Amino acid sequence: MTISYKDIMKRKIVALILAAGKGTRMKSDLNKNLHMLRGKEIIRYVIDAAKVAGANDIALIIGNDAEIMRERLGEDYIYVYQHEQLGTGHAVMQAEDFIKNNIDSDIMILLGDGPLITKESLEKMLLAHQDGADATLLTAVKENPFGYGRIIKSEEGHIEKIVEEKDASKEEKLVKEVWTGLSCYTGEALLESIKKIDNKNAQKEYYLTDTVKYLSGVNKTVKAVYINDEKETLNINDRLALSKAEKLLNQEYLEELMYSGVTIIDPLTTIIERDVKIGRDTTILPFTYLTGSSTIGMNCEVGPYTHLNNCEIGDNTTVNRSSLFSANIKNNATIGPYSYIRPNTVVENGAKVGQFVEVKNSIVGKNSKIPHLTYVGDTRIGERVNLGAGTIVVNYDGFNKYETIIEDDAFVGCNVNLVAPVRIGKGSLVAAGSTITKDVPSNALAIARSVQVNKDFWAKKRRDMRENLRK
């Protein structure tokens, strides 16, 4: 019988996520933890990692933009307010009630701005912790440890304390093993130690790291667990770090897609968010941006210079140099170049939406064609319909939107205005240049344009008159 990770866990696990800092280096009016990273807030990555690692309850310590944080993240979490930012230890002090309520649990302390932490690293920490530790630290070895708290050990290898950069001696600054900011405590050890720390340091702040010195001093067991992948220690404190995280996560997912049978011509110019799913033998061309929960079928070609967001693309479909939002494109369809497909649009099997065409809230029927220079809004197009260049569906009167219906096998000539609400009957033909304001019966020819008048020699007379005026 296979023993799962959850079977090994002896104690309940909860998480306390520090997210009160505004992040002044982001140069933003928005809390740094709420900045978007590949389609979701930075802090959601940390929350998700905590959940899959087994956290039953999650408390978020918030301060700046507290109400915005609650509004964005919802009410599934316990919120703890830190009205003054006096250090990481002070932040945890604000969660005393949460700690007391989980006194028999193991409490992970995580950072809201550290989105690259993985469930594997958290599980590794928890496994070590539940094997007899009072506190367990996730550590890393860095060639340039500047800015990190150093892990100071005794000659026997026991952890004695963590020393922050500004309080470290010259010898301590030479230590390359650093604390990542992530840790796990028993509820008892955390409650006891958090009451023993003070702000007698260079920053005049309450350091969470001082709990380690206290616990070591009273012969509690403090363990260290190494993070193998240094990228997991990246914290988003400025726009450069945000860009770096974006690149790392994007490259990781592009590699997964390529191993699964997707061709990506140029990974350096292709961005695909994690929730996008792509079928095998599909090719993604350069400068393509795929976001949201988009799905792309098999044997498609998407790009170059294409943006899809929350779209469903069927098999054997081509999307070229176009922008599509919340649209459903079926099998064997052709989109672009330079199409703009807006929400609630369905393009059925074998249909074509061509260059410089905008479609919104409409159905384009099977094997129908909208080749170029056309606007279609609030329209139901049947099968095998052709809309000529310059066709405009006039769906808005300044107050309300109206529906247009174009039935199967209709043919609409170039430069036609269809003034909604209007129905173009099955098999009918609308003459080029017409403005249609009334329904067209099936199999009829509709002509709605003024009678052509030719005035002989008028153009020559006009030129002669202009020439005389110049003399």
Per-residue pLDDT tens digits for 22-76: 778 999 989 999 999 999 999 999 999 999 999 999 999 999 788 999 999 999 9
List average pLDDT for each run of 10 residues in the chain, which is 471 residues long.
Answer: 55 94 87 94 96 95 90 95 92 96 96 95 94 94 88 89 90 92 96 94 88 94 91 93 96 98 98 97 98 98 98 98 98 98 98 98 98 98 98 96 98 98 98 97 96 91 89 72
Length of the chain: 471
* Residue-level pLDDT at 183: 96
> Which residue from 430, 426, 431, 429 is spatially nearest to 442, judged by alpha carbons?
426
> Which residue from 264, 312, 310 is spatially nearest to 288, judged by alpha carbons?
264
* Residue-level pLDDT at 85: 87
Question: What are the CA-CA distances from residue 141 to residues 167, 229, 271, 467 (Å)?
Answer: 19, 10, 31, 87
* Residue-level pLDDT at 409: 98
> Which residue from 227, 119, 116 is spatially nearest to 108, judged by alpha carbons?
119
Other beta carbons less than 10 A from residue 285's beta carbon: 20
pTM of this structure? 0.88
Please name the residues in contact with 320: beta carbons below 8 A apart, sequence gap of 6 or more: 301, 303, 304, 306, 334, 335, 336, 337
What is the set of domains in the chain, with CATH numbers?
Answer: 5-233 (3.90.550.10), 239-446 (2.160.10.10)
**Catalytic residue chosen out of the listed positions 35, 90, 129, 372:** 372
Q: Is cis: bond before 337, omega within 30 of 0?
A: yes
* Residue-level pLDDT at 1: 37
Cβ-contact 420, 404 below 8 angstroms: yes
Q: How far apart are CA 215 and CA 202, in angstroms?
A: 22
Q: How far apart are CA 295 and CA 283, in angstroms?
A: 14
Q: Is position 372 annotated as part of the catalytic site?
A: yes
* Residue-level pLDDT at 445: 97
> Which residue from 273, 353, 338 is spatially nearest to 304, judged by alpha carbons?
338
Cβ-contact 181, 235 below 8 angstroms: yes
* Angle at 58 (CA atoms; ends 225, 123), nearest 5 degrees: 25
Q: How far apart are CA 197 and CA 306, in angstroms?
A: 55
> Which residue from 444, 423, 447 is spatially nearest to 434, judged by alpha carbons?
447
467-471: which pairs have CB atoms within 8 A and are 24 or more residues apart? none
Question: What are the CA-CA distances from residue 46 to residues 41, 57, 230, 436 (Å)?
Answer: 10, 13, 16, 57
Q: What is the DSSP letter of 256?
A: H
Question: Cα 331 from chain centroid?
Answer: 26
The pLDDT tens digits of the residues spanning 116-125 come to 999 999 999 9
